[in-house]
Amino acid sequence: MIYGPEKNGQHIRGFSLNFAASKFSMMELIKNIDLESLPKKKYMVIRYILDHAEEVVLLSTAELADKLSVDPVTIIKTCQEAGFKGFHDLKKRMKTQVRAKISRTPIDKFLSEFDVNTSTEEAIRNAVSRDLKMLTGTIEKISFKNIILTAEAIIRSRQTYIIGLGYIGNVANYLQSLIRSHIPQSHAITEYNGMLFDYMAHFGKGDTVIAIGFDKCQNQTIKAFKKAKQSGATTIMLADSEYSPLCKYAKIKLLVHAAPNYFLSPLIGAFSLCNAILHCIVEMTKPESTRRSTAYKKLLLDEKVYFLS
């Protein structure tokens, strides 16, 4: 999704119509509504429906209203303005659009990109270009204040737990490897069931729990994050949507640009945020952080870790 300030044929109020159309083929359903003229709450309803069509077809009017913190009447009136009898009528039309995509997994999205015939050089150029767009989009979307708050929470925490299950474990491990020299009481939780359950039993007041989830967020990540909030820990989410199910339990929200296609793309922005968090921690803990870094460098030289010509 694109959250830039453009307002032309491509972008309206920061929403990418082309992306919504290509992802869900839903724009044709609401062609009778002027997104630009909608009040804030009704615009939010339409945007959520477009972004989460697969989820919305399974929700009742009351459930969607509760999720968006609006009155059910707002949901119904928004659908009527779009040319439908109500929310049920909209869902009925949506199901036809969504049915073929409900079974698609991130792997399906990944493989579909290789159905297009391109040269090897074009594939390389497209991959790098996509990553650059991810970083640019993340810069426009991030909250510098929340990065600072995250660094402060990690510094003062009793224990810092970083939850990144499945392939997202790469981000959890990376962040933990960056901060452990300065914050040794940090842990990367990357395995389902046993490992996650062991750490969940230790969540408590004074701890910081960071949950990382993109696209279809794992249920165990959500449950663990909920447990962290209930235990009194400071909860921080790193996600690619302000509608992530993690938002409900997050005190601090870190957002990266959403991936348009390739399912690993959010990791690019996530790794960059990890670097930013480290730099904040180093700045906030000077001069002690400088002394640690100097001692670490001396240890590397003494142990001849790297080849020197």
Domains of the chain: 11-98 (1.10.10.10), 134-302 (3.40.50.10490)
More confident residue, 137 or 264: 137
The predicted structure's pLDDT at residue 203:
97
Calculate the average pLDDT of the chain: 82
Range of lowest pLDDT (50-54, 164-168, 241-245): 50-54
Confidence of residue 164 (pLDDT cuts 50, 70, 90): very high
Using CA atoms, how far apart are residues 235 and 244, in angstroms rounded to an integer? 14
266 in Cβ contact with 214 (< 8 Å): yes
235 in Cβ contact with 124 (< 8 Å): no
Using CA atoms, how far apart are residues 240 and 267, in angstroms rounded to an integer? 10
In the three-class reduction of DSSP (H, G, I as helix; E, B as strand; rest coil), residue 273 is classed as helix
Average pLDDT over residues 178-190: 95
CA atoms within 13 A on the CB side of 93: 17
Could you report the per-residue pLDDT of 17-32, keeping only the tens digit for each? 333 333 445 555 666 6
The predicted structure's pLDDT at residue 39:
87
68 in Cβ contact with 45 (< 8 Å): yes
Range of lowest pLDDT (44-53, 91-100, 208-217): 91-100
Model confidence at 150: pLDDT above 90 = yes
The predicted structure's pLDDT at residue 7:
34
**Could you tell me the two tokens for 115?**
């159905």
Using CA atoms, how far apart are residues 65 and 46, in angstroms rounded to an integer? 12
Helix ranges (DSSP H) in the chain: 17-24, 40-51, 53-56, 61-68, 72-81, 87-98, 106-112, 120-141, 144-156, 169-179, 194-200, 219-230, 266-284, 288-302
Average pLDDT over residues 97-117: 54
The predicted structure's pLDDT at residue 155:
97
pTM of the model: 0.68
Task: Tell me: cis bond preceding 287? Omega within 30 of 0 counts.
Answer: yes
Using CA atoms, how far apart are residues 17 and 11, in angstroms rounded to an integer? 6
Strands 160-163 vs 186-189: parallel, antiparallel or unpaired: parallel
90 in Cβ contact with 84 (< 8 Å): yes
Q: What is the DSSP letter of 6?
A: -
The predicted structure's pLDDT at residue 114:
54
Strands 15-16 vs 11-12: parallel, antiparallel or unpaired: antiparallel
* Three-state secondary structure string covering 184-215: CCEEEECCCCHHHHHHHCCCCCCCEEEEEECC
Of 260, 12, 267, 257, whose CA–CA distance to 141 is shortest?
A: 257
Confidence of residue 2 (pLDDT cuts 50, 70, 90): very low
Average pLDDT over residues 208-236: 94
